[in-house]
Amino acid sequence: MCSVEKADPLLSDAGKTELLEIAITSIKHGLEQERPLPLDPNDYSEELQVERACFVTLHREGNLRGCIGSLEATQPLVADVAENAFSAAFRDPRFDRLTKTELTGLEIHISVLTPSTPMRFNSEAELLRQIRPGIDGLILTEGSRRGTFLPSVWDALPEPTTFLQQLKRKAGLPGDYWSEKIEIARYQTLSFP
């Protein structure tokens, strides 16, 4: 699941609108060219050139249709949106590739992430006391296993214990698993529309 939270008002309404247009244009380009929309970040406003990580979530008829993103900022936001929109439509392993007929009714949501910060805890109980439902997105890392839930997942999993259990499962661990090697980082998102 992916989608809607307000945490970082560093994007203007015009910037948000432009990112949504880039996302749909990248998907349409992908249908024709089988690759993300090529773009030069320098052609866009300064706020869209800043390196930021994002997730792009697709819904159709109220159902999830794809969700792909980046946890760390490695490129300008405008490029991250173009690539993640393409990937959500055509590379999400949970779904078949998006078809041209599915463009009608396709809803696009973009979640721009704040930089993540590591959490400090000595037990699962202590971690659960620190988690802020509805605010925190979490990244769980245990060895080579990794999983994340965006803050919008709190809508479906409002209890911290269940949220954490499902995040462990997403990372390929049993829901009741605990180890002193588990690392958790948190972040917030600015999601739109």
Domain boundaries, the chain: 13-113, 117-192
Q: How far apart are CA 26 and CA 39, in angstroms?
A: 10
CATH code linked to domain 13-113: 3.30.700.20
- In the predicted model, what is the mean pLDDT of residues 12-29? 97
**Token duo for residue 175:** 């829901």
Environment class of 138 (CB within 10 Å of its CB; exposed 0-12, middle 13-18, buried 19+): buried
What is the pLDDT confidence band of residue 6, given thresholds at 50, 70 and 90?
very low
The tokens describing 142, both together, are 């245990």
Averaged pLDDT for residues 81-109: 97
Give me the mean pLDDT over the 86-110 stretch. 97
Q: Report residue 167's pLDDT band, with 50, 70 and 90 as the boundaries.
A: very high
Distance CA 164, CA 128 (A): 8
Which residues are CB-neighbours of 66 under 8 A, at least 6 positions away?
A: 56, 57, 58, 87, 88, 89, 92, 94, 95, 98
CATH number of 117-192: 3.30.1490.150
Domains 13-113 and 117-192 share a fold: no
Tell how far CA 191 is from the center of its chain.
9
